[in-house]
């Protein structure tokens, strides 16, 4: 039986790059995103380029029961890439409650639920890989992106803990922690004017390749790029108060009315 990889957030950015890498390695694919026409186009191109089977699942993962819906369509996979996620930029008390809830559902709840659904089968088969996409935000407090930074800290902690729990089972868990990357992330977070995104952004294909190689080796945490490694180190060498100010200065947009 050919191996199957499931990728969330596969309609662009890192998800699309992971799909390309997996297809090139001969994996059949199940691609999940909200945009049906875009997924169908990607699927056609991957089938033509790599002669793999590609199923598309149009599903909003920021709703209750999303993981159940995906699992009903794809009851097993050999590689799970939890890539889908989004952020909100603004003062927490001014963000719409529905948006905060959707952010937590997508970035934390659905990621956790999908992992829980697919791990037992991987363990039973004594083989499988999970790649969870976090961020360098996982290492920092994030004023004006409080929910996103906290969610990514959860993803990092969750991934490392699972990796240790599963040691010796043949199943590995890898957490990718990129910095600012050239994807649609900033547009959805409505933070194109934030200082963080005035800096050069990493190439999505290069970031995905680093995460993919780390996953293939069973590495627990992948932080691509020297500057991002310094960010990951910063909590150990920078006073907490200063870290908060630096983090705030990177993402706060003083002229923005904080609403969505």
Nearest C-alpha neighbor of 214 from the set 227, 224, 204:
224
**For the chain, how big is the Rg over CA atoms in Å?**
18
Nearest C-alpha neighbor of 84 from the set 113, 108, 107:
107
- Please tell me the predicted confidence (pLDDT) of residue 143: 95
Q: What contacts 200, CB < 8 A, 6 or more positions away?
A: none
- Please tell me the predicted confidence (pLDDT) of residue 260: 35
Q: Which of 27, 148, 149, 212 is catalytic?
A: 148
Q: What contacts 250, CB < 8 A, 6 or more positions away?
A: 194, 195, 196
- Please tell me the predicted confidence (pLDDT) of residue 192: 56
pLDDT beneath 50: ranges in the chain? 258-260
State pTM to two decimals: 0.91
- Please tell me the predicted confidence (pLDDT) of residue 258: 43
- Please tell me the predicted confidence (pLDDT) of residue 200: 64
Please give the CATH topology (third level) of the domain spanning 4-251: Rossmann fold (3.40.50)
Nearest C-alpha neighbor of 212 from the set 21, 73, 45:
21
- Please tell me the predicted confidence (pLDDT) of residue 64: 97
- Please tell me the predicted confidence (pLDDT) of residue 198: 58
- Please tell me the predicted confidence (pLDDT) of residue 259: 39
- Please tell me the predicted confidence (pLDDT) of residue 128: 98
Q: Any catalytic annotation for residue 148?
A: yes
**Backbone φ and ψ of 130, nearest 5°:** -120, 130
**Inter-CA distances, 204 with 16, 20, 181, 198, Å:** 9, 12, 6, 17
> What is the Cα–Cα distance from 181 to 162, expressed in whole angstroms?
26
Query: Tokens 């089972």 identify what position?
Result: 169
> What is the Cα–Cα distance from 251 to 221, expressed in whole angstroms?
24
Is residue 199 within 8 A of residue 180, CB to CB? The reply is yes
- Please tell me the predicted confidence (pLDDT) of residue 250: 83
- Please tell me the predicted confidence (pLDDT) of residue 187: 60
- Please tell me the predicted confidence (pLDDT) of residue 251: 82
């Amino acid at each position: 039986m050919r191996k199957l990889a499931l990728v969330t957030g596969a309609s662009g950015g890192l998800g699309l790059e992971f799909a390309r890498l997996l297809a090139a390695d001969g994996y059949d694919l199940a691609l999940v995103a909200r945009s049906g026409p875009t997924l169908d186009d990607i699927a056609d191109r991957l089938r033509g380029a790599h002669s793999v089977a590609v199923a598309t699942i149009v599903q909003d993962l920021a709703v209750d029961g999303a993981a159940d819906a995906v699992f009903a369509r794809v009851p097993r996979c050999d590689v799970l890439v939890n890539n889908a996620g989004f952020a909100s930029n603004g003062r927490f008390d001014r963000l719409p409650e529905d948006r905060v809830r959707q952010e937590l559902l997508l970035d934390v709840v659905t990621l956790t639920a999908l992992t829980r659904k697919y791990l037992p089968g991987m363990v039973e088969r004594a083989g499988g890989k999970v790649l969870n996409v976090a961020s360098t935000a996982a290492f920092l407090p994030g004023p004006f992106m409080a929910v996103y930074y906290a969610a990514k800290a959860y993803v990092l902690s969750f991934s490392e803990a699972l990796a240790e729990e599963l040691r010796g089972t043949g199943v590995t868990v890898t957490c990718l922690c990129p910095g600012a990357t050239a994807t649609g992330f900033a547009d959805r977070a409505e933070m194109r004017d934030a200082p963080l995104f005035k800096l050069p952004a990493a190439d999505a294909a290069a970031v995905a390749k680093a995460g993919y190689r780390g996953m293939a080796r069973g590495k627990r945490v992948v932080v691509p790029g020297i500057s991002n490694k310094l960010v990951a180190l910063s909590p150990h060498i920078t006073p907490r108060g200063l870290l908060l100010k630096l983090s705030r200065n990177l993402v706060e947009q003083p002229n923005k009315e904080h609403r969505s």
